Chain A
Amino acid sequence: MSRIMYFAVRTSRCSSNLEEILENTRQGFQSLGYTASLSLSDENKADFLLLREAEMTPGNRENQGVVIITDDESVLADTNSFRSAAECWEMPYDIGAVVLLGERKLFSSRFTGFAFSPLCLVHIESHSSSYKRLASYWIHKSGRKG
């Protein structure tokens, strides 16, 4: 069964190139030895399906999660440290990660690349050209050692 990541765009200032983010993430999965597809028709064939918010359908919650794409750097502020990401963005599935677009001022260290409680990985696009870290994180959250 494929694990599904829905990408939901919540930007105000920056324009997001969703297709590029999806493709970069797909390549991240493939570089780690997993199959990933951007097409719903590959369900149950690919290890991971990377889909748009519009393609969201009801289903197994454990099998599906959401990546928020935003340009709001307040996600890194400590006023969010005790809040759930679901309080900020209402979603039918768990929000597992956030892609933060644009140049960042609050982000001074790679080790603050998380926020909210429970923690979400924050992928800072301007600090990383590769989406491998996001893919690796999602693999680990989805799988377990055999």
Chain B
Amino acid sequence: MRKRRSYRSSPRTTFLVLAAQGLEEAVGELLLKRTEILAAVKVYADELPVFKEKGLRIISIVNAVEMRFVTKILDEAEAVDPPGMPEARRPEAAAVSEETVETLMIPETREIREIRGIWEPKDTKDTENTKDNKDNKDNKDNKDTEDTEDTEDTKDTKGSFETPETPETPETPETPETPETPSGYTQSGSCTEAAMIGFVLQISSGDAADFSSLISELPHGYEPCEVFFGEGETCLPLFCKHAEKLDLRSAPKPKAVLTDELHGFGDAVLLFPVLQQFIDKEARLGHEVHLITKRKLVPFFQTVLKRCRILEGAHTHVMYEAVMRSSVYGKVFLLPVSVSAPPLHHIRDLFAKALGFQRPPGQPDREKMDFPQLPSALEQEMASLRETGAPVVGVQFHTGDPKRSWPQSYAQQFVRLCKERNIHLINLSPLPYDLQPEGCRDWSGLAVTGLFAALEGMDAMVGIDSVCGHVAGFLGVPNLTLWGRSFPGLQFPGSRDESHVSFRTLSANYSLVPRSADIRDISPELAFARLKELLDGRICLSAEVITAHDTLNEIGIEWVDGA
């Protein structure tokens, strides 16, 4: 996924959910489970009216953290301010509003006490709370794999929670003299002492959250200059206005590596060997490395990288700026994916240079790498295919980008041709259609980390420019790439986004490249013919790493003319 995301402007309501002191991480984490948080903001009590004037809807969570209530309030708010320009977003309308904060009071129930129990300091918990905590922690740990179950639990207990029509004590933190408000945060005359963390959410009419508008949404002077870590491995940009007093004595700080928003699984496969060597080098110098990456890549990096903290973070310039300016990190590396002028770089070289290597480090010893094994059923299936003596080939014909995807009819014809010649095909990625009737086996449910074990046992890989080909290239398995939209040595040819970066697989690659950049110019018959030549040894591919120079010299590249 390398196409730049464009943000459509859409009607939306921006919320500031304030967390009572001590509940910041818990509120942040629970909000993240329900929605996308754009940013955390360090808010001072006496500045709340300014947020209101900017049109933010403010919700204060004061005595518990059950997000069903927040969801309800957000739903109700959206119903009051339907898509279109919400009244509250007009400064003049907000200025006459008397209420600055909607305070959410939640009745004390057993479930609420349990939720509280999770977040209270350990030394204040009684035995029962500790048990509750463990139970809840266990539930939390299982959430990623038991989403359906969690949903059912939520349904079961929904009836026991009610939001009062009128909050019992909807206190607004307006009186500086009050040392502590029922809202749970301490106030004082000095705004440097009365800070609390708020979370910025947007409710829009179906569009992705608009990070680019954050600066204008927040009051003047708030800037992304710190990071906020949620309870889990999540990193948010933290907007601050007032400087904190920091300890200026030298101390080692972790280094952060940010992957660009355009990175996909294929890029991650190319990146991780270089990144692991960077992590190892820094570890020898006593430096910790944090990788901040997009949500979908977190499980992959958690599996393949060692000695590195993997954090999930939104990939926007707001986030980059927050990480760069934060006091948490000493140095920050943003891994680029595009270069608008020659010379050509292979993306692996670009990653290596960005991480300070003079030349790309050698490939890691694959024998020592610890990839997940295939599920036993698939292992047995592979063994039985191998017993037939016929070649086994992995395929990937589809990705989210239609210009890189091979047409369905082409894929079907290719599968039929392979079946006629007794070549076993296994589809390794999700398809919007079914190739099993044509005789292609379906392993599309495999996680990306499972592809390593799957492809290691195959004779070749045929696919579009995407992750499966990159795994094959990493493993040195002969791989045939069907190019569309881009060339092996030029991204987005003919457009203003032309980029001189090569995304060829690491090794053993043969590329069929339409001059038109239209993947439909690669016929199933041509792809099949080249596959046969690969399998018969008539095309010999090197296991050496393919360089940008190789690509410029068109080694292993066959240009294809349109019909």
Partners in one complex: yes
User: A10: shortest Cβ distance to chain B, in Å?
Assistant: 22
A78 at the binding interface (Cβ < 8 Å): yes
Would you call B321 and A111 a contact (CB within 8 A)?
Answer: yes
B325 at the binding interface (Cβ < 8 Å): yes
Max count, chain B CB within 10 A of own CB: residue among A78, A83, A133, A140: A140
Would you call B215 and A82 a contact (CB within 8 A)?
Answer: no
Indicate whether A144 sits within 8 Å of B246 (C-beta atoms), given known contacts A111-B317, A111-B318, A133-B223. yes
Of B225, B247, B339, B353, the contact of A144 (CB 8 Å cutoff) = B247
Max count, chain B CB within 10 A of own CB: residue among A1, A63, A146: A146
Would you call A114 and B246 a contact (CB within 8 A)?
Answer: no
List residues 62-94 of chain A with CB under 8 A from any CB of chain B.
Answer: 62-63, 77-79, 81-84
Of A34, A78, A110, A142, the contact of B336 (CB 8 Å cutoff) = A78
User: B7: shortest Cβ distance to chain A, in Å?
Assistant: 12
Would you call A32 and B243 a contact (CB within 8 A)?
Answer: yes
Would you call A140 and B225 a contact (CB within 8 A)?
Answer: yes
User: A29: shortest Cβ distance to chain B, in Å?
Assistant: 9
Would you call B324 and A114 a contact (CB within 8 A)?
Answer: yes
Would you call A144 and B253 a contact (CB within 8 A)?
Answer: yes
List residues 92-115 of chain A with CB under 8 A from any CB of chain B.
Answer: 109-114
Would you call B225 and A119 a contact (CB within 8 A)?
Answer: no
A-side interface size class: 35 or more
B251 at the binding interface (Cβ < 8 Å): yes
Of B250, B325, B333, the contact of A137 (CB 8 Å cutoff) = B325
Indicate whether A117 sits within 8 Å of B251 (C-beta atoms), given known contacts A33-B245, A139-B243, A143-B246. no
User: B352: shortest Cβ distance to chain A, in Å?
Assistant: 9
Indicate whether A143 sits within 8 Å of B331 (C-beta atoms), given known contacts A79-B341, A84-B356. no
Residues of A within 8 A of B186 (CB): none
Residue of B nearest to A33 (CB): B243
Indicate whether A78 sits within 8 Å of B355 (C-beta atoms), given known contacts A62-B250, A114-B324. no
Would you call B325 and A109 a contact (CB within 8 A)?
Answer: no
User: A106: shortest Cβ distance to chain B, in Å?
Assistant: 11
Indicate whether A118 sits within 8 Å of B333 (C-beta atoms), given known contacts A33-B245, A144-B251. yes
Max count, chain B CB within 10 A of own CB: residue among A60, A139, A144, A146: A144
User: B327: shortest Cβ distance to chain A, in Å?
Assistant: 4
A141 at the binding interface (Cβ < 8 Å): yes
Would you call A109 and B317 a contact (CB within 8 A)?
Answer: yes
A13 at the binding interface (Cβ < 8 Å): no
Would you call B246 and A140 a contact (CB within 8 A)?
Answer: yes
Would you call B332 and A118 a contact (CB within 8 A)?
Answer: yes
List residues 306-320 of chain B with CB under 8 A from any CB of chain A.
Answer: 316-318, 320
Would you call B320 and A47 a contact (CB within 8 A)?
Answer: no
Would you call B339 and A136 a contact (CB within 8 A)?
Answer: no
Residues of A within 8 A of B262 (CB): none
A52 at the binding interface (Cβ < 8 Å): no
**Bound CA–CA A110/B214 (angstroms):** 12
Question: Please, what's the 1-or-0 string for A1-16, where 1 marks a CB less than 8 Å from any CB in chain B?
Answer: 1010000000000000
Residues of A within 8 A of B328 (CB): 144
Indicate whether A114 sits within 8 Å of B320 (C-beta atoms), given known contacts A141-B327, A141-B330. yes
A121 at the binding interface (Cβ < 8 Å): yes
B447 at the binding interface (Cβ < 8 Å): no
Would you call B325 and A121 a contact (CB within 8 A)?
Answer: yes
B340 at the binding interface (Cβ < 8 Å): yes
User: A68: shortest Cβ distance to chain B, in Å?
Assistant: 16
B136 at the binding interface (Cβ < 8 Å): no
Residues of A within 8 A of B253 (CB): 144
Residues of B within 8 A of A145 (CB): 244, 246-247, 327
Would you call B338 and A78 a contact (CB within 8 A)?
Answer: yes
Would you call A117 and B355 a contact (CB within 8 A)?
Answer: yes
B326 at the binding interface (Cβ < 8 Å): yes
List residues 280-301 of chain B with CB under 8 A from any CB of chain A.
Answer: none
B334 at the binding interface (Cβ < 8 Å): yes
User: B350: shortest Cβ distance to chain A, in Å?
Assistant: 5
B226 at the binding interface (Cβ < 8 Å): yes
**Bound CA–CA A106/B334 (angstroms):** 19
Residues of A within 8 A of B320 (CB): 111, 114, 119
Residues of A within 8 A of B334 (CB): 81, 114, 117, 119
Would you call A136 and B325 a contact (CB within 8 A)?
Answer: yes
**Bound CA–CA A143/B330 (angstroms):** 9
Would you call A110 and B243 a contact (CB within 8 A)?
Answer: no
Would you call B243 and A136 a contact (CB within 8 A)?
Answer: yes
User: B346: shortest Cβ distance to chain A, in Å?
Assistant: 12
**Bound CA–CA A17/B272 (angstroms):** 45
User: A114: shortest Cβ distance to chain B, in Å?
Assistant: 6
Would you call B327 and A83 a contact (CB within 8 A)?
Answer: no
Of B246, B249, B327, B332, the contact of A119 (CB 8 Å cutoff) = B332
**Bound CA–CA A33/B248 (angstroms):** 13
**Bound CA–CA A107/B212 (angstroms):** 15
Residues of B within 8 A of A3 (CB): 248
Would you call B246 and A139 a contact (CB within 8 A)?
Answer: yes
User: B174: shortest Cβ distance to chain A, in Å?
Assistant: 26
B354 at the binding interface (Cβ < 8 Å): yes
**Bound CA–CA A117/B255 (angstroms):** 12
Residues of B within 8 A of A144 (CB): 246-247, 251, 253, 327-328
**Bound CA–CA A127/B345 (angstroms):** 33
Of B243, B245, B326, B331, the contact of A118 (CB 8 Å cutoff) = B331
Residues of A whose CB lies within 8 Å of any CB of B are 1, 3, 32-34, 47, 60, 62-63, 77-79, 81-84, 109-114, 117-119, 121, 133, 136-137, 139-146
Q: 5 tightest A-B contacts by CB?
A: A143-B246, A111-B317, A32-B243, A140-B327, A118-B331
Q: List 6 A-B contacts (CB under 8 A).
A: A1-B249, A34-B243, A136-B223, A140-B246, A141-B330, A144-B247
**Given A136-B243, A139-B243, 12 additional A-B pairs, CB 8 A:** A62-B250, A77-B341, A81-B336, A81-B354, A82-B339, A111-B212, A119-B324, A133-B223, A136-B225, A139-B246, A145-B244, A145-B246
